[in-house]
Amino acid sequence: MNSVTVRVPAKVNLQLAVGPLRDDGYHDLVNVFHAVSIFDEVTATAETGMSVRVEGESADQVPGDRDNLAIKAALALAGHAGRSYGVHLFIRKSIPVAGGMAGGSADAAAALVACNELWGLGLPLEDLMEIAADLGSDVPFALLGGTAVGTGRGERLTPLDVAGTFHWVFALADGGLSTATVYAECDRLRQATGERVAWPQAAEPLLAALREGNAEILGTELRNDLQPAAVMLRGSLARTLDAGREHGALGSLVSGSGPTCAFLARSEAHAGELAASLKDAGVARDVITAHGPVPGPVIV
Ligand SMILES: C[C@](O)(CO)[C@H](O)COP(=O)(O)OP(=O)(O)OC[C@H]1O[C@@H](n2ccc(N)nc2=O)[C@H](O)[C@@H]1O
Ligand SMILES: Nc1ncnc2c1ncn2[C@@H]1O[C@H](COP(=O)(O)OP(=O)(O)OP(=O)(O)O)[C@@H](O)[C@H]1O
Q: Supply the pLDDT for residue 80.
A: 97
Per-residue pLDDT tens for 44-77? 999 999 999 999 989 999 999 999 999 999 999 9
**Is it the case that residue 241 has pLDDT exceeding 90?**
yes
100 is in an annotated binding site: yes
Dump the DSSP string for 129-196.
HHHHHHH-TTHHHHHHBSEEEEETTTTEEEE----S-EEEEEEEPSS---HHHHHHHHHHHHHHHT--
Q: Supply the pLDDT for residue 30.
A: 98
> Residue 108 C-alpha to ligand 2 middle, in angstroms?
10
Q: Is the Cβ atom of 63 under 6 angstroms away from ligand 2?
A: yes
Instruction: Give the number of whichever ligand sits closest to the CA of residue 256.
Output: 1
What is the distance of C-alpha 265 from the center of its chain? 19
Catalytic residue of the set 11, 28, 93, 107: 11
103 is in an annotated binding site: yes
Instruction: Give the number of whichever ligand sits closest to the CA of residue 97.
Output: 2
Q: Supply the pLDDT for residue 57.
A: 85
> Residue 20 C-alpha to ligand 1 middle, in angstroms?
13
Q: Is the Cβ atom of 269 under 6 angstroms away from ligand 1?
A: no
> Exposure of 21 by Cβ count < 10 A (0-12 exposed, 13-18 middle, 19+ buried)?
middle
Domains along the sequence of the chain with CATH = 3-160 (3.30.230.10), 166-292 (3.30.70.890)
Nearest CA to ligand 1 atom 32: 180
* Percent residues over pLDDT 70 in the chain: 100
| Distance separating alpha carbons of residues 252 and 149, to the nearest angstrom | 20
pTM > 0.90: yes or no: yes
Mean confidence (pLDDT) of the chain: 97
> Residue 179 C-alpha to ligand 1 middle, in angstroms?
6
Q: Mean pLDDT throughout 140-159?
A: 98
Per-residue pLDDT tens for 208-234? 999 999 999 999 999 999 999 999 999
Q: Mean pLDDT throughout 126-133?
A: 98
Q: Supply the pLDDT for residue 253.
A: 98
**Is it the case that residue 1 has pLDDT exceeding 90?**
no
> Residue 180 C-alpha to ligand 2 middle, in angstroms?
12
Nearest CA to ligand 1 atom 19: 180
Say which residues have a Cβ less than 8 Å from residue 86's Cβ, sequence separation at least 6: 46, 47, 48, 49, 50
Give residue 10's pLDDT band: very low, low, confident or very high (50, 70, 90). very high
Per-residue pLDDT tens for 151-204? 999 999 999 999 999 999 999 999 999 999 999 999 999 999 998 999 999 999
Contact 122, 86 (CB under 8 A): no
Q: Supply the pLDDT for residue 123.
A: 98
Say whether 72 is catalytic. Answer: no
Contact 107, 8 (CB under 8 A): yes
Q: Supply the pLDDT for residue 60.
A: 95
> Exposure of 64 by Cβ count < 10 A (0-12 exposed, 13-18 middle, 19+ buried)?
middle
Give residue 254's pLDDT band: very low, low, confident or very high (50, 70, 90). very high
Instruction: Give the number of whichever ligand sits closest to the CA of residue 70.
Output: 2
Q: Is the Cβ atom of 131 under 6 angstroms away from ligand 2?
A: no
Q: Supply the pLDDT for residue 43.
A: 98
Say whether 11 is catalytic. Answer: yes
Nearest CA to ligand 2 atom 3: 104
**Is the ipTM, as predicted for this complex, more than 0.95?**
yes
Catalytic residue of the set 28, 40, 107, 138: 138
